[in-house]
Amino acid sequence: SSELTQDPAVSVALGQTVRITCQGDSLRSYYASWYQQKPGQAPILVTYYKDNRPSGIPDRFSGSRSGNTASLTITGAQAEDEADYYCNSRDSSGNRVIFGGGTKLTVL
């Protein structure tokens, strides 16, 4: 499969927990990675594989997978977490890369 589906927009109250999801057939085989993008900036990697975070990414960001759905959870959302979030994985063949359409997170 060559599609990953994300909700276009999600909102969360400051300090609360939010889950952003990504659905696709490829996720039954491949783990998703998640990226945060703020306006005018390049994306940055926030989680990958089972629940790995690059150095410098706060531990309030976590990743998980169940069936064909990958999730990015932010526990205790901060104002600076307001951004667009994208998921990606290899497609089911493993030969191509696919991105979700992105989710705009608003922190209220």
Q: What residues between 46 and 75 interact with another protein by CB under 8 A?
A: 48-49, 54
Nearest distance from residue 16's CB to another protein, in Å? 26
Q: What residues between 73 and 92 interact with another protein by CB under 8 A?
A: 84, 86, 88-90
CB 68 within 8 A of CB 24: yes
Query: Amino acid identity of 47?
Result: T
Provide φ and ψ at 81, rounded to 5°.
Answer: -85, -5
Q: How many residues does the chain have?
A: 108
Q: Is 45 among the residues that bind another protein (CB under 8 A)?
A: yes
Q: Is 33 among the residues that bind another protein (CB under 8 A)?
A: yes
d(CA 41, CA 57) in angstroms, rounded, equals 16
* Residue numbers at the binding site for another protein (CB under 8 A): 2, 29-31, 33, 35, 37, 42-45, 48-49, 54, 84, 86, 88-90, 94-102
